[in-house]
Structure 1
Amino acid sequence: MAKPWHHLPEALRAEARSTAGAVRSACAGPGRERDLAAQSLKAALAALVAWIVAGHVLQAPMPFIAPWVAVALVRSTVYQSLAQSLEQLAAIALGTTLATAAGMAVGDPTLAMVLVLPVTLLIGNWRKLGDQGVYGATAALFTLTTGDPSVDQAMARLLESVLGAVVGVAVNMLIRPPVYLRDSHNALRGAADAAAECLTGIARGLAGTWDQGDALAWDRRARRVTELVGEAREALARTEESARLNPAAPRRAALLRRSGPYAHTVYVLEELARYTRDLTHTLVEAADDGTAKPRPEPDVAGRYARLLERVAVAVEAFGRVVTDDSREARERLRRAVARTDAAHEDLRRLLADRGTADPEWMGLYGSLLVDAHRAVQRLLEEPPHDGERS
């Protein structure tokens, strides 16, 4: 059997290629890679400024604390920087105070650690401190391992922590404050494209011969669409958070007004994803020989495939309205929805003429028709114009 380290060179080459690709993407234009590079440079700048101010301007006794705090507070949004600065300062104050009191009381740093660390680590899990609770235990360790604890040292540590927090928040707020509208834009377009591709794949399969393996593959793709829509909702929440307390937000108000239409689009895509999952679940049951569920007859399957093709085109047009909210894009969506509505009506008439007393067939046809109708109705709900709806 091959040893794991035999694959190390190839793994390193793959990692190097991935890193080179990320660097090229950051240099090529706006995107996630460039945002990450900018945040990293800002964190480094915040640490440098905090070090210079603490060590060379104020001559602080422990200047390393300020850059340590500053670099941790250049977060992905201005709101996070401000909120987490309060949480981090509270944790540092708690850890420093407990460690100073214990160190002065027992006079032995090791014994003080035994008393303080379990407490600070336990308090660090308090949800009010968010993910900054660990700084309480870290501050306690710094206090007990860098000299004899005293009230003066504790005050100096706290003041340097405040300095670092101020520098970190200021750098993040004043230098290229992040507004992540692009993330929502890309996530919504990706979810819409994935939904359209999934429906197109089902349509092509239904138009020919298919089995349970095909139905299960469609169901997996439908689940992936649901995941992508969830990621789009998370991206939208991040966009809205990035505008809070952000001095750049007023200058980008026209772009941020799209968050209303984007929220509407997420809602519609969630309904489409639910419809697609219902559809694939119905097809999986119909293809399972063990359930004795009926399969759609060839002419019904063909008409339904035609409907799904038109739904897919309409979903793609719907996604394009998000990224290109123009008159032409909306007109293209309206035409696609009209064709989808016509295909739905054609299928409805076929199923009405196919009336049967078999409850299994009626259940299958009814499910297909209701699901298709739900999708068409959601597509008729066009995204509102900027600022119309939130």
Structure 2
Amino acid sequence: MREQCCAAARWLGWELAAVGRTARSAVRHPGPERDTMVQSLKAAAAAIIAWTLTGWWLKAPLALMAPWTAVALVTSTVYRSLRSGAQQFAVIVVGALWASGALAVTGNSTLGAMTITLPFMVLLGNYRRFGSQGIYGATTALFVITYGASTVSDVGHRLLETLIGAAVGVAVNAFVLPPVHLRSVHDNLQAMAGRSGELLAEVAEGLRAEDGLAGAAGWHDRAWRLGQTAQALADARQWTTESLRFNPFRRLRHHVSLPPPAEVDAAWERVGGHLVAITRTLARAANEDTPLPVPSSAYLARWADVAQQAGIVCRADAEIIEGSGRPQALRDQRDAALQEAMSAHRSLTTDFHREDGTAVAVGGELVVETQQLLGELAALSDSPAPAGLHTRKREQR
């Protein structure tokens, strides 16, 4: 029992520490924590305004409907607020009318009205056109039934309260620090480039060791997990596109730094795919059960030179995306490393024919995938790709 109490106390301490870190992060610098804090305060303000309009000014008999609706519509994007507002109002209209009709049919019997209303409204709430707002039909019906009024005037009040709450929620979300999700794309692009560079540097260092392929399985796992970062990047891009729809932010603040074009996302996703292929080849060569012969340590060391320079290119891109350091110096460093990588790759292309027997197969796979990897990195650069690399930039020309 004492151990359980100690464990619970430690867990509570960790949670409080995490809450403290989150609060400090929200106050000190921009980020997801501050975005969450701002949206929460906006939802609370929208609820207070909606209650003031309906409960204090209009003296509505069930003013709870307005703040309840307003809170639900302060969502992550203005577009989503508008879409959710239309869905919610539609389903609330159905819930209020159906519940009022059920009360009239059952003679204001609460149990009878619930029996008639709830099965239908819960089923209707799962209709995909209503999205996540479908549940509000059933809860609205419960409010109406519990209040016990079914006259036309009462139904009109419910709908007016809902409409006011929806209008307040959408207006607050759209005109008070409207949410724009731009940092997420930058953050995920930086993570994709940085993790690619770290992986290439680790592979290069490992291949120069005595047992060069010992970590090949771990490298392949890390490369495979880059796909999760690519998916997070795709999700962030979708959020960015949605958050700019119907958003007055760009008209109010012209200094918004828009993320790079979507073609950059696709290029880094392809870089991750080539890293998966390269590390899979190395992992198969390291597998004791595989019939594939391992290239010579000298050949792997020469390939490590290519990987090291490619890793420098990726890490420079990560710093450029982050905006840290001097951009021109980083670009010069990137271009120099890319040229070194391509020069080393040309030497590697000549040398792999000297490998013994079927070791040429593994060496050839590394040469081909590395060539495509360097081609993608060259396409991401402002400088033209050197001869011999068939980059997508040249194909598009």
Task: Give the alignment's TM-score, normalised by structure 1.
Answer: 0.92
Aligned-partner residue type, residue 362 of structure 1: V
**Matches of 2:260 and 2:127 in 1, distance apart?**
33
Instruction: Tell me the CA shift for residue 254 of structure 1.
Output: 5.5
Q: Which deviations, in whole Å up to 9, do the C-alpha atoms of 1:40-67 show, x marking residues without a partner?
A: 1111100000010111111111111100
| 1:149-195 Cα distance to aligned partner (Å, 9 max, x none) | 33322221111111001001111111111112112111211221111
**How far 1:252 moved relative to its partner?**
4.5
Match of 2:341 in 1: 340
1:46-103 Cα shifts (integer Å, max 9, x gaps): 0000010111111111111100000111111111111111111111112112211222
- Separation in 2 of the partners of 1:202 and 1:302? 10
Query: How far, CA to CA, are the matches of 1:46 and 1:384 in structure 2?
Result: 47
Aligned residue for 1:54? 54
1:82 corresponds to 2:82: yes
- How far apart in 2 are the matches of 1:343 and 1:141? 72
Match of 2:209 in 1: 208
Q: Deviations over 1:77-130 (max 9, x none)?
A: 111111111111111112112211222112322122222212211111111111
The residue that corresponds to 1:117 in the other structure is: 118
Range that drifts further, 140-149 or 46-55: 140-149
Partner of residue 178, structure 1: 179
Equivalent-residue separation in structure 2 for 1:81 and 1:142 (angstroms): 23
Task: Decide whether aligned partners of structure 1 residues 160 and 105 sit closer, same or farther in structure 2, where only a CA change above 3 A counts.
Answer: same
Equivalents in 2 of 1:167, 1:335: separation in Å? Answer: 56
Query: What is the 5 A alignment of 1:342-357?
Result: 342-352=343-353, 354=354
Change (3 A) 1:383 1:40: farther
Partners in 2 of 1:151 and 1:122 — Cα distance? 25
- 1:206-232 Cα deviation digits (max 9, x unpaired): 111447762221122112222112112
Percent of aligned pairs sharing the same letter: 34
The verdict on how the C-alpha distance between 1:254 and 1:293 changes in structure 2, with shifts beyond 3 A counting, is: farther
| Equivalent residue number for residue 315 of structure 1 | 314
In the alignment, structure 1 residue 29 sits paired with structure 2 residue 29: yes
The aligned counterpart of 1:374 is 372
In structure 2, what residue type is equivalent to 1:167?
A: V
Q: Amino acid of the residue matched to residue 91 of structure 2?
A: A
1:67-78 counterparts in 2 under 5 A? 67-78=67-78
Deviation at 1:336, TM superposition (A): 2.2
User: Structure 1: how far apart are the matches of 2:214 and 2:346?
Assistant: 30
SS in 1 for 2:14: helix
Preserved CA contact (<8 Å) 2:66 2:161: yes
Note if 1:17 corresponds to 2:17.
yes
Equivalent position amino acid for 1:66 in 2: A
Q: What is the CA distance between 1:14 and its match in structure 2?
A: 0.4
Shift of 1:39: 0.7
Residue 306 of structure 1: how far off its partner (Å): 1.2
Which residue in 2 is equivalent to 1:271? 270
Q: Provide the rounded CA distance (Å) in 2 between the counterparts of 1:281 and 1:259.
A: 30
**Structure 1 unaligned runs (5+)?**
none
Q: Distance in 1 between matches of 2:328 and 2:213?
A: 43
Deviation, 1:329, is: 3.5
Please tell me whether the aligned partners of residues 71 and 169 of structure 2 are also in contact (alpha carbons under 8 angstroms).
yes
**Compared with structure 1, are the counterparts of its residues 10 and 330 closer, same or farther at alpha carbon in structure 2 (3 Å cutoff)?**
same
Q: Pairwise CA RMSD of aligned residues?
A: 2.2
Q: TM-score, normalised by structure 2?
A: 0.90
Given residue 14 of structure 1, which amino acid in structure 2 is its aligned partner?
A: W
Distance 2:31 2:315 in 1: 23
Quote the Cα distance in structure 1 between the aligned partners of 2:171 and 2:382.
36
Q: Displacement of 1:243 after TM fit? A: 1.1
| 2:223 aligned partner | 222
Superposition deviation, residue 274 in structure 1: 0.6
Could you tell me how far apart the structure 2 residues matched to 1:276 and 1:382 are? Answer: 16
In 1, are the aligned partners of 2:320 and 2:330 still within 8 Å (CA)?
A: yes
When the two structures are aligned, how many residues end up with a matched partner?
381
Gaps of 5+ in 2: 384-395
> Structure 1 stretch 321-330 or stretch 13-22: which is displaced more?
321-330
- Does the residue aligned with 2:289 lie in a helix, a strand or coil? helix
Give the direction of change, closer, same or farther, for the CA distance of 1:156–1:170 in structure 2 (3 Å limit). Answer: same
Deviation at 1:257, TM superposition (A): 4.2
> Does residue 298 of the first structure (1) align with residue 325 of the second (2)?
no
Distance 2:137 2:4 in 1: 39
1:95-114 counterparts in 2 under 5 A? 95-107=95-107, 108-114=109-115
The whole-number CA distance in structure 2 between the counterparts of 1:296 and 1:41 is: 61
Aligned counterpart, 1:280: 279
Shift in alpha-carbon separation, 1:191–1:52, aligned structure 2, 3 A: same
Maintained 8 Å contact 1:75/1:81: yes
Q: Which residue is equivalent to 1:155?
A: 156
User: Residues of 2 paired with 1:210 and 1:37: CA distance?
Assistant: 50
CA distance in 2, matches of 1:256, 1:56: 42
1:240–1:259 contact (8 Å) kept in structure 2: no
CA distance in 2, matches of 1:257, 1:20: 31
Q: Could you tell me how far 1:298 is from its partner in structure 2?
A: 0.2
Mapped to 1, the partners of 2:85 and 2:301 lie a distance apart of 60
Conserved? CA contact 1:279–1:371, under 8 Å: yes
- Equivalent residue number for residue 126 of structure 1: 127
Give the Cα–Cα distance (whole angstroms) in 1 for the partners of residues 5 and 86 of structure 2. 45
1:250 equivalent in structure 2:
251
- Cα displacement string for residues 291-334 of structure 1 (whole angstroms, at most 9, x for unaligned residues): 22222210111011111111111111222333339444433322
Q: Is the Cα contact below 8 Å between 2:192 and 2:230 reproduced in 1?
A: yes
* Shift of residue 362, structure 1, vs aligned partner: 2.9
Q: Provide the C-alpha distance between the structure 1 equivalents of 2:216 and 2:57, rounded to a whole number of angstroms.
A: 69
